Structure 1
Amino acid sequence: MQRKLRKQQGVDLSSTKFRDLCRFLDAMVPQDFEVPKFKRYDGTRYPMDHLRGFCGELNTMAGNDGAFIRVFQKSLKGDALDWYTSLDYYQIKTWEQLSQAFIDRFVYNLNVAPERADLVALRQRNDESLSTYVGRWRAMADRMKTPIDDEEQIYKIIHLANPSISRYLVSYPYANFTQLIRVVKKSKPE
């Protein structure tokens, strides 16, 4: 029944024609455009952060809705990519429509403010620099309903960093995040 309905709408589910398979075919991407390496969204994080990061990577193409729409799939994986490929692309004509549909789909992540336990669970990855880890930590801490002061954040970051870096960092006093990052950059324990 769904196949018949789709066929009536002009979409043949059994078709392997390029026009039937390609999403947003009329959207144009500049010929010399190189797709940036995006941090791919899987549907489990804050969707606004992903949209901001995506737009920041493509700021040279601002105003080219078609390119934004076509390239957006390159920034998705897992459930988010499944969502994108299942879109009724006849309904999506602008970047604003696509980004609003994206937010509507993943809105449940918008209202989930992290708690202290989430911050404590946020560990530095083995391949991650301390400055990147501090950035991730601060981004999550900024979304908390009850803020944590910088002194406590610095203490927790130092103790939750990779052990080799943490052992080094505990021997210095830090008044702010800038001092923490400077010590790391001077010594390069990352």
Structure 2
Amino acid sequence: MVDRDQLANLIQETYRPTPRRVGRLTYRKPYPDYIDRYEFPRGYKVPNFVTFSGEDSTSTIEHIGQFTIQCGEVGANEFLKLRLFANSLTGITFSWYISLPANSVYTWQQLEEMFHTQFYKTEPDVSMTDLSRLSQMLGKMAEDFIGKFKRVRHKCQVSLLETEYMSLALNGLDFELRKKFEGMQFQDLFQLASSAARYEKVLKEEQDRRNASRGTYYRDPNYEIHMTEASNNYVKDPTYEIHLTEAEIGLEIDAAEINIKKPYSCSTLTKPAETVSSVQPPSSTAKRTLTEADKQYAFDITKADEIFDLMLADKIIGLSKGQKIPLKDELQKRDYCKWHNSYRHSTNNCIVFCSKLQNLIEKKLLRFLEKK
């Protein structure tokens, strides 16, 4: 006689589900095998395609265009494009591609349409109101703002004259730039961006001059503080303001550049003669307190002109094309800055050049000549 437990075990063994054997899944290309028989031209190398993940702001239309261009000479061959397309996908887009059923794609147009259907994202239209609201953010350069303006402009569905686009871009600039360019005409956005970048450099040097003091302080990389008096022809009034004319705008652009890749020892680079243990105001301005605007250098800036000449002779400094440094007799005791190719100040009083030298010293690329 069978008890209840034996009966339950019999029923469980008889009717319990048995695991089914499932064959291993294998990848098969979505296009027919005969397409792989189309050969690439002799010597053709598969490009390193820009990949599309579907997770950034790149549209499917942009990707198809970029993919076709990167295909090069086979960009017009639909079958070869079918073979190459998987190389331009990554992440979820590649997972979508390998999940397509075998023999489900026969033409490039069919695959492109399936790709757009799956991943196309509609972008919001950009209106004239959106363009007019764009403005240069505080602390951002004009070139960055105009670059953003160009990108948004291409998404605008409204077609305008170039002069109207220029007016919108001008209105979005910083107040100082709008004030300077009031009434001026520009051919295109590139010219506007170039002019704005040059004028911003002038404004920066003007601010540096305004913050400059009669006494110039020098800081050694080892934090030993040195002090010398600035030359008498330097700007004496800290509130002095520079007023630029149209012809002077281009004069303050860097006319030289420093190309230094390994440490360079300069024989004319010397430390100031006077040394103090702590920073004290010059005697002529005894009550003046030091601020962050005070310039601190580790070298004697009265030698800046000589340092420039030596670095130029050693090809550490390069001049811009067409620049010719005037002879001493030609200057007739006038100030001349070799860094800016400007007659508005001397090389010894050039804040930009001295700051670049100080930066190289702190990076240990410009060194004092060691005494033997």
TM-score (norm. length: structure 2): 0.32
Residue 62 (structure 1) shift? 3.4
Gaps of 5+ in 1: 121-129, 160-170
For residue 87 of structure 2, what is the amino acid of its counterpart? K
Q: Which residue of 1 aligns with 2:154?
A: 142
Conservation of the 8 A alpha-carbon contact between 2:30 and 2:105: no
Q: Which residue of 2 aligns with 1:93?
A: 106
TM-score (norm. length: structure 1): 0.55
Q: Provide Cα deviations, 1:73-96, integer angstroms capped at 9, x if missing partner.
A: 121222222221212241101111
Pairing partner for 1:58 from 50, 71, 92: 71
In our comparison, the structure showing a higher alpha carbon Rg is: 2
Pairing partner for 1:32 from 43, 60, 78: 43
Q: Tell me, what secondary structure is at the counterpart of 1:40?
A: coil
Pairing partner for 2:191 from 139, 160, 179: 179
Q: Provide Cα deviations, 1:115-155, integer angstroms capped at 9, x if missing partner.
A: 759x97xxxxxxxxx89x94x87455322345795334588
* Alignment size in residue pairs: 151
Partners of 1:141 and 1:78 in 2: how far apart?
31
Partners of 2:75 and 2:98 in 1: how far apart?
23
Instruction: Report the CA distance shift for 1:182/1:89 in structure 2 as closer, same or farther (over 3 A).
Output: farther
Instruction: Report the CA distance shift for 1:150/1:55 in structure 2 as closer, same or farther (over 3 A).
Output: same
Gaps of 5+ in 2: 1-19, 135-142, 175-179, 198-252, 254-372
Residue 179 (structure 1) shift? 2.6
Higher-RCO chain (CA-CA 8 Å, sequence separation at least 6): 1
Residue 104 (structure 1) shift? 0.9
Partners of 2:71 and 2:170 in 1: how far apart?
33
Please state which structure has a larger fraction of its residues in helix. 1
Pairing partner for 1:106 from 85, 110, 119: 119
Instruction: Report the CA distance shift for 1:39/1:63 in structure 2 as closer, same or farther (over 3 A).
Output: closer
Residue 55 (structure 1) shift? 1.0
Q: Tell me, what secondary structure is at the counterpart of 1:58?
A: helix
Partners of 1:155 and 1:75 in 2: how far apart?
41
Structure 2 residue 96 is the aligned partner of structure 1 residue 83 = yes
Conservation of the 8 A alpha-carbon contact between 1:23 and 1:70: no
Q: Which residue of 1 aligns with 2:16?
A: none
